[in-house]
Amino acid sequence: MKSGSSKFVGLLIGTLCVAVNVAVVAEDPPPTSDSPNFSQSIRPFLQAHCIRCHGDDEPEGGLALDTYRESARIQSDYETWEKILRIVQERQMPPEDEPRPDEPELQSFCRAVQAELETFDCTSHRHAGRVTIRRLNRAEYNNTIRDLIGIDFRPAAEFPSDDVGNGFDNIGEVLSIPPILLEKYLAAAESIVEQAMQDAAARRRIVVHEPTPELSLREAARRNLKRFATRAFRRPVRDAELDRLMALAKFAIDQGASPDEAFRTTLQAVLASPHFLFRVEADPPLGQHVRQLDDFEVACRLSYFLWSSMPDQELFDLAMAGTLQAPATLDQQVMRMLRDPKAAALTENFAGQWLQLRSLADIAPDPGRYPAFDDDLRAAMRRETELFFATVVREDRSILDFLAADFSYVNERLAAHYGLVGVQGDAFRHVQLDDRRRGILTQASILLITSNPTRTSPVKRGKWIMDNILGEPPPPPPEGVVELDETPEALGSLRERLEQHRSNEACAVCHRKMDQLGFGLENFDVIGGWRDRDGRFEIDASGTLPGDVHFDGPAQLMQILSEQNKSAFSRCLAEKMLTYALGRGLESYDRCAVDDIIKQLEQNDYRFGALVRAIVSSEPFRFRESLGKK
Amino acid sequence: MTQPRFTRRTLLRGLGVSLALPLWDSLPASVAAAGPVAAPPRRSAFIFVPNGVNLSDWTPQTEGFGFRLPYILEPLANVQEDVLVLSGLTHDKGRANGDGPGDHARSASVFLTGAQPRKTSGANIRSGISVDQVAAQAIGKATRFASLELGCERGRGAGNCDSGYSCAYSSNISWAGESSPMGKETNPRSVFDRMFADRNAKPTDQAVVRGRALKQSILDFIAEDARNLQTKLAANDNRKLDEYLTGVREIEQRIQRAERTHADTSGDLTYQGPAGTPRDYGEHIRLMCDMMVLAFQTDTTRVATFMFADAGSNRSYRDIGVSDGHHELSHHRGEAEKLRKIRDINRFHVTQLAYLLEKLRATPEGDRSLLDNCMICYGSALSDGNRHNNEDLPILLAGRGGGTIDPGRHVRFERETPMCNLFMSMLDRIGAPTDFIGDSTGRLPGLQI
């Protein structure tokens, strides 16, 4: 066994069965439906680099690549091929001690596999996917408590931070429950109940039924609990659950607790229960492949997607009536929810992570070079992008505004930073931009988080655009690359140095596009202020994108992105938002849902609301698959 | 349960002034010297620093006793005789081994596990159990907290952390099981409250007794909820509920331990605890160190981990005149200016370590010091931040492990000696011997002469 490939075995263990299976049926039929992708790029690559180990009688890792003789099999074994693609893309394979494919050859193979995977037949299988049970993350916990109790305690401020997967902190698989978190949950439950019962308004929300001569203390408590637990569990509480809660109250009384203390004990138990802390969704019944979620489950998916919180009374009522999933009703609810002030959570949590605004807090430009920067300016930068995003949401504007809008929001401080005159005071206001800035990529927030503390980084900026706008994240650099030499000025302008960097073909493959995108933003310094010079060099913000598309300056670049790259942008945004809405990473079969979503988006002038409605009505959003995939 | 040498009351009274005055000033020598004779427990702590170090200013020129402290280690001058510098250790599982880029994320997850983390940004996180948790699971029952996990950075809130590795790998060094990172506490106030929130509770008070019973009944209730749920859910979901149930059990055990050990942990506390997370980074680290000393001193736990910063941290160190980001700097490509800044950052971290060690040494325990009964393992799982190599790691071991270690030396091991062999030797001394951990191949010779 070659040393480099030992890891591959582990990675492919899961696909062993598939591969073995395949080997049995691979005798016939002869290749019929060969696509050019397969015959010109994939098969030669496999033959040159793979099948010596992954072939014949005892293929490495049980992966027999010589059995793939036609492109259709790539789609049917898409899980295996997604792994192969990733591993080759990351240059984990072929192993180090084998001859390396040259870079164009490798890229052409990857593109061909990608193209084959994209021909996945959406009509043959229904794949709704399966979300791992999700605990509430910190934002969701805070908001849920706020809406459940009526007081904005923000008790999760002291919880450990939620781990991030697939770019977001609401991914079921990744959200773990270390012991310290459970401890915090219990402590929070205690203090929330304590404070809620001391606050007259909050108490009235919980203690709706007071004992009367006709209503026993016990029965009043049961009714109050039923109401509270139903809202906390976000579905009707079951009688058996209520019985157990009442038994808990009785135990407390037996221990000498007052009725009030006993009631509080049960409230604490509700708030520490997995039914509150997790969003539970039932799997399809045995033998069934997919299951449509019930209205309560869909109400939760909606409310946590758009509000990062529990459903409100209107959603509950519709779920109770069983009418929430009527298409017109779903659409209406989405538009109502997007206009609700609680939709601020979408800005804070979705935009905050998609655009990485959250990382602004940790970024500190060099005060020697940027003495004007301080926390006020930092806050204003973040506010601008948040207000901008919230406007697109609230006014149901086109998502292309993110790239090309000629307006934004500034206060006096930010206006001065941008060189805009006539804006006074701390309040933000709508302003028309001059032709230097267009859309979010020219907002100081994004420009700052894509810079180093002491200098701009066209590479970082270009990579950021590819990652978050175009949805084509460049692969990590091959091992052993020489990093950019940034010895000041002696070796030429930053642009010249980057161009030298790209003379290496292995680097050029990706940097050709990445750096050009970044050059288009070179008129903006580290903190997003306009500049015509960098040290002794005049700024050259022109560039050429693949396909010989020229631009000169940020406004032209933004125009190109919003006109010629709008389908890539739509896909990128749809994928990110679907990931966020579902709380799981996307699988290859999700491209069927994504295609539908994009179609609807295009038919509706790229309006933000159309994107959300399309996500909400999609199969992955409203259905749930059993664990066995096929 | 070992008898404490002095009451917690005395210790905490002393701590009340510890931020202004050295802790030991207020401890009467007679108290420290009194008490029964059972051997004091052995404590261990593991401290992680990110991005490797500037090795040429870290490694002493000579081996054995009496080595001259290199620039980065100079702050240890007062405690040099309590510190072993260990050269030549390797974390092979921090290398790519076919997994491609992501050395920073790997460097944290491998640091105490010696296990190759599975490359994933989302589903199916897998590392290995860490040495501190092996210890905690063996000896944690004796103390109120099985272990304590501390840090200064909360973990990244957005984006991938490192080339396709989930942030869980770069923001945790402590793993209770292969897919269960422990999380960490970054606010010193919360650490204090966790340890001592119930400090004024009187065990005989009716309300306190009832409060415990009610708490237990809530735990019973939610555990039953979780178990009922598990019967209805599939494997991935059940893993999450397993974590939940582990948490419930951990708290149950803590309540029971608190009942058993209540006599030791009662007492009035003049020290009200830290106010919160200070803005100053050095102060933040030192406050966390105070909490660790306090935890050891009061025998609240015997096992701790502390990430001075998360893997790949790009923090800048303005207080010592470094405005570039640490991670960015660590890719120094041999430039003198950057190497100088890196060694200053490395030295800053070691200065904080010196604070901890001096404080531990100044805290008497029996006729020795707290540090004598400790093993403090400090270092990085990257050697040089530029090359991202995982051999010849910068590692220190401070303390005497209850007289089982002879520090004050620089010891060089054979190339490629697994770092996990050090963990094997530490676990023996902790009283949690094991057959292997991570990629260990045996014990580390030469910790004692």
| B316 part of contact set with chain A, CB < 8 Å | yes
Q: How far is CA A413 from the centre of its chain?
A: 31
**With contacts defined as CB-CB under 8 Å, which chain B residues touch A248?**
217-218, 221
| Nearest 10 degrees: Cα torsion A564, A570, A575, A579 | 140
| Nearest 10 degrees: Cα torsion A438, A440, A445, A446 | -100
The whole-angstrom distance between A454's CA and the closest CA on chain B is 7
Arithmetic mean of pLDDT, B52-70: 95
Residue A346: per-residue pLDDT: 98
Residue A34: per-residue pLDDT: 59
Backbone angles phi, psi at B181, to 5 degrees: -65, 150
Residue A506: per-residue pLDDT: 63
β-bridge mates for residue B87, sequence order: B412
Which of A100, A171, A174 should one mutate to test binding to chain B, selecting the residue with the greatest count of B CBs within 10 A? A174
> Which residue is closest to B179 within chain A, CA to CA?
A176
Encoded tokens for B369: 């010091």
Amino acid letter, B315: R
Residue B292: per-residue pLDDT: 96
Q: How far is residue A215's CA from residue B187's CA, in Å, rounded to a whole number?
A: 47
Encoded tokens for B85: 């510098």
pLDDT over threshold 50, residue A489: no
Other CB atoms within a 10 A radius of the CB of residue A288 amount to 10
Tell me, what DSSP letter sits at residue A442?
G
- Asked if B163 and A476 come within 8 Å (Cβ–Cβ), the reply is yes
- Asked if A477 and B101 come within 8 Å (Cβ–Cβ), the reply is yes
What is the residue-wise DSSP string for A221-277? HHHHHHHHHHHHHTSPPPHHHHHHHHHHHHHHHHTT--HHHHHHHHHHHHHHSHHHH
Arithmetic mean of pLDDT, B46-53: 95
Q: How far is residue A80's CA from residue A272's CA, in Å, rounded to a whole number?
A: 41
- Residue A484 binned pLDDT confidence (cut-offs 50, 70, 90): low
Q: Give me chain A's average pLDDT, please.
A: 87
Encoded tokens for B70: 């290199």
- Window 23-62 of A: residues touching B by CB (8 A cutoff) are none
Which pairing describes strands B303-307 and B43-48: parallel, antiparallel, or unpaired? parallel
**With contacts defined as CB-CB under 8 Å, which chain B residues touch A273?**
221-222, 225
- Asked if B328 and A133 come within 8 Å (Cβ–Cβ), the reply is no
What is the residue-wise DSSP string for A173-237? TT----HHHHHHHHHHHHHHHHHHHHSHHHHHHH------SSS-HHHHHHHHHHHHHHHHHTSPP
- Residue B6 binned pLDDT confidence (cut-offs 50, 70, 90): very low
Cis peptide before B50 (omega within 30 of 0): no
Provide the angle, in degrees to the nearest 10, between the axes of the packed helices A103-118 and A505-519. Answer: 70
3-state SS, A519-536, equals: HCCCCECCCCCECCEECC
User: Is the alpha carbon torsion for A218, A219, A222, A223 positive or negative?
Assistant: negative
pLDDT over threshold 50, residue A27: no
DSSP run (H or E) holding A545: strand A542-545
- Asked if B325 and A452 come within 8 Å (Cβ–Cβ), the reply is yes
The phi-psi region of residue B344 (left if phi > 0; otherwise alpha if psi is between -120 and 50; otherwise beta) is alpha
Encoded tokens for B98: 């076919």
- Residue A505 binned pLDDT confidence (cut-offs 50, 70, 90): low
Q: Of the candidates B5, B32, B91, B11, which has an alpha carbon nearest to the alpha carbon of residue B266?
A: B11
Listed by start position, the domains of chain B span 8-28+38-193+276-430, 201-266
Measured between CB atoms, which of B186, B214, B244 is closest to A274?
Answer: B244
Decide if B150 contacts B185 (C-beta within 8 A): yes
- Asked if A174 and B168 come within 8 Å (Cβ–Cβ), the reply is yes
- Residue A198 binned pLDDT confidence (cut-offs 50, 70, 90): very high
Instruction: Tell me what percent of the residues of chain B surpass a pLDDT of 70.
Output: 85
- Asked if B166 and A174 come within 8 Å (Cβ–Cβ), the reply is yes
- Window 326-355 of B: residues touching A by CB (8 A cutoff) are 328, 331, 333, 335
pLDDT in tens, A566-595: 999 999 999 999 999 999 999 878 988 999
Residue A480: per-residue pLDDT: 57
Arithmetic mean of pLDDT, B181-203: 83
Decide if A375 contacts A381 (C-beta within 8 A): no
Cβ-proximal residues to A392 (8 Å cutoff; 6+ apart), any chain: A398, A399, A401, A402, A608
Residue A510: per-residue pLDDT: 73
Q: How far is residue B95's CA from residue A549's CA, in Å, rounded to a whole number?
A: 41
Instruction: Tell me what percent of the residues of chain B surpass a pLDDT of 90.
Output: 57
DSSP run (H or E) holding B391: none
- Residue B156 binned pLDDT confidence (cut-offs 50, 70, 90): low
Percent composition of chain B: helix, strand, coil (DSSP 3-state, to 5): 45, 15, 45
Q: How far is residue B288's CA from residue A191's CA, in Å, rounded to a whole number?
A: 25
Encoded tokens for A576: 């990110």
> Which residue is closest to A285 within chain B, CA to CA?
B232
Q: How far is CA A392 from the centre of its chain?
A: 18
Q: How far is residue A594's CA from residue A344's CA, in Å, rounded to a whole number?
A: 25
Backbone angles phi, psi at B394, to 5 degrees: -80, 105
Residue A121: per-residue pLDDT: 73
Measured CA to CA in angstroms, residue A175 lies from A43, A122, A131, A157, B102 at distances of 40, 30, 12, 16, 21
**With contacts defined as CB-CB under 8 Å, which chain B residues touch A164?**
155-161, 166-167
Residue A15: per-residue pLDDT: 34
Give CA angle at A285 (A279, A288), nearest 5°: 120
- Asked if A359 and B159 come within 8 Å (Cβ–Cβ), the reply is yes
- Window 386-445 of B: residues touching A by CB (8 A cutoff) are none
- Residue B26 binned pLDDT confidence (cut-offs 50, 70, 90): very low
pLDDT in tens, A74-112: 877 777 787 788 778 767 678 777 788 888 888 889 888
Encoded tokens for B197: 């929130």
- Asked if A283 and B116 come within 8 Å (Cβ–Cβ), the reply is no
Arithmetic mean of pLDDT, B302-322: 92
Q: How far is residue B111's CA from residue A283's CA, in Å, rounded to a whole number?
A: 38
**With contacts defined as CB-CB under 8 Å, which chain B residues touch A265?**
214, 217-218
Measured between CB atoms, which of B123, B125, B221 is closest to A248?
Answer: B221
Provide the angle, in degrees to the nearest 10, between the axes of the packed helices A179-198 and B206-230. Answer: 120
Decide if A276 contacts A232 (C-beta within 8 A): yes
pLDDT in tens, B217-271: 999 999 999 999 999 888 778 889 999 998 899 888 877 777 665 434 434 456 7
Measured CA to CA in angstroms, residue A267 lies from A105, A179, A192, B198, B209 at distances of 63, 21, 10, 22, 20
Which of A182, A190, A271 should one mutate to test binding to chain B, selecting the residue with the greatest count of B CBs within 10 A? A182
Q: How far is residue A455's CA from residue A525's CA, in Å, rounded to a whole number?
A: 8
Residue B16: per-residue pLDDT: 38
Which ipTM did the prediction report? 0.83
> Which residue is closest to A281 within chain B, CA to CA?
B233
User: Is the alpha carbon torsion for A355, A361, A188, B256 positive or negative?
Assistant: positive
3 state SS of B270: coil
Q: How far is residue A30's CA from residue A73's CA, in Å, rounded to a whole number?
A: 12
Backbone angles phi, psi at A173, to 5 degrees: -60, -35
Q: Which CATH architecture has domain B8-28+38-193+276-430?
A: 3-Layer(aba) Sandwich (3.40)
| A256 part of contact set with chain B, CB < 8 Å | yes
Tell me, what DSSP letter sits at residue A121?
-
Arithmetic mean of pLDDT, B44-58: 95
β-bridge mates for residue B379, sequence order: B48, B395
Encoded tokens for B157: 């809130």
Does residue A97 or residue A239 have the better pLDDT?
A: A239
Q: In what order do the strands lie in the sheet with B409-418?
A: B64-65, B409-418, B83-90, B395-398, B374-379, B43-48, B303-307, B148-151
- Asked if B122 and A92 come within 8 Å (Cβ–Cβ), the reply is no
**With contacts defined as CB-CB under 8 Å, which chain B residues touch A269?**
218, 221-222
Residue A548: per-residue pLDDT: 83
pTM equals: 0.82
Tell me, what DSSP letter sits at residue A422?
S
| A476 part of contact set with chain B, CB < 8 Å | yes
β-bridge mates for residue A430, sequence order: A409
pLDDT in tens, A404-450: 999 999 999 999 999 999 999 999 999 999 999 999 999 999 999 99
| B320 part of contact set with chain A, CB < 8 Å | no
Q: How far is residue A296's CA from residue B287's CA, in Å, rounded to a whole number?
A: 47
- Window 176-235 of A: residues touching B by CB (8 A cutoff) are 176-183, 186
β-bridge mates for residue A407, sequence order: A432
| B280 part of contact set with chain A, CB < 8 Å | no
> Which residue is closest to B116 within chain A, CA to CA?
A7
| B213 part of contact set with chain A, CB < 8 Å | yes
Encoded tokens for B29: 């020598």
- Asked if A164 and B159 come within 8 Å (Cβ–Cβ), the reply is yes
- Window 133-172 of B: residues touching A by CB (8 A cutoff) are 149, 154-161, 163-164, 166-168, 171
Q: Give me chain B's average pLDDT, please.
A: 85
| B447 part of contact set with chain A, CB < 8 Å | no
